[in-house]
């Protein structure tokens, strides 16, 4: 087997190692993107909670208004006991009626607001359930990526062991040239196709074409610096 053929075998191994390492590097980011899926659901839950609390606070204010009106009525009733004329009694009764009407209006508003609170509570429950389901889905997806990471780690270790065996029979000069180029390019070795470099697609001089076909020495593309084969 020529040095070129050995390097082509090595390049296939190295390309796979590079591919696996890139996927491994991307996995933490992919897992983080999965976790970010929860943010929208979490924000919706927070908004639903805030809306419910605001409505409950409004309902509480109405209840306090009713209490205040009831307290006014109680005081007026006490005053009625102490007055001596029918005219004053009727005046207080009229005032009491006004407060009672005020209470009725507030209580009507309370009923409508209680319905709104019930609707907001149902909406909040639905959003919490959706968040719970999304959390389970994200947890599963993150776990799947962790499993994939373990699989890839095993694959890359196997490929590195395979690489160790592959480099043993390669000439040191050829190997050093290959590794220097592969560290900077997608491929270190590219085919010479009809006199053109398979990497940068630039036409090569006749002597380069001749030397490449002989496969007896290292031949580099004068433009991109890749090894020609």
| pLDDT tens-digit series, residues 7-56 | 999 999 999 999 999 999 999 999 998 888 888 889 999 999 999 999 99
Q: Which residue has 């409505």 as its token pair?
A: 55
Last residue of a domain, one of 168, 190, 210: 168
Looking at residue 190, what is its pLDDT?
97
* Mean pLDDT estimate for the chain: 93
Domain that holds residue 139: 3-168
Residues of the chain with pLDDT under 50: none
Q: Note the pLDDT of residue 21.
A: 96
Give yes or no: residues 30 and 74 share one domain.
yes
Specify the pLDDT at position 10: 97
The pLDDT of residue 93: 87
Query: Are 193 and 95 members of one domain?
Result: no
Same domain, 44 and 145: yes
In terms of domains, do 132 and 229 share one?
no
Residue that is last in its domain, among 168, 185, 210: 168
- Whole-prediction pTM: 0.68
Cross-strand partners of 196: 193, 203
Q: What is the pLDDT of residue 221?
A: 95
Tokens of 5: 């053929």
pLDDT at 86: 85
| Chosen domain end from 168, 186, 219 | 168
Instruction: Looking at the structure, tell me whether residues 180 and 94 fall in a common domain.
Output: no
Residues 8, 109 share a domain: yes
Give pLDDT, residue 79.
85
Statement to judge: residues 153 and 190 lie in one domain: no
pLDDT recorded at residue 89: 85
Q: What is the pLDDT of residues 141-153, one digit of tens each?
A: 999 999 999 999 9
User: Do 142 and 213 fall within a single domain?
Assistant: no
């Amino acid at each position: 087997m020529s040095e070129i053929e050995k390097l082509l075998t090595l390049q296939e191994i190295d390309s796979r190692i590079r591919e696996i390492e890139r996927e491994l590097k991307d996995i933490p980011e992919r897992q983080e993107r999965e976790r970010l899926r929860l943010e929208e659901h979490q924000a919706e839950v927070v908004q639903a909670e805030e809306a419910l609390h605001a409505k409950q606070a409004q309902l509480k204010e109405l209840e306090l208004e009713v209490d205040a009106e009831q307290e006014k009525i109680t005081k007026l009733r006490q005053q009625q006991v102490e007055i001596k004329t029918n005219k004053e009694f009727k005046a207080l009764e009229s005032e009491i009626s006004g407060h009672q009407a005020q209470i009725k209006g507030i209580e009507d508003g309370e009923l409508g607001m209680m319905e709104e609170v019930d609707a907001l509570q149902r909406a909040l429950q639905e959003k919490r359930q959706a968040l719970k389901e999304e959390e389970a889905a994200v947890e599963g997806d993150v776990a799947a990526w962790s499993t994939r990471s373990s699989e890839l780690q095993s694959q890359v270790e196997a490929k590195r062991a395979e690489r160790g065996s592959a480099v043993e029979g390669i000439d040191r000069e050829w190997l050093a040239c290959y590794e220097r180029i592969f560290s900077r390019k997608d491929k270190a070795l590219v085919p010479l196709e009809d006199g053109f470099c398979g990497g940068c697609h630039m036409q090569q001089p006749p002597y380069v074409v001749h030397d490449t076909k002989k496969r007896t020495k290292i031949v580099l593309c004068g433009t991109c610096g890749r090894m020609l084969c």
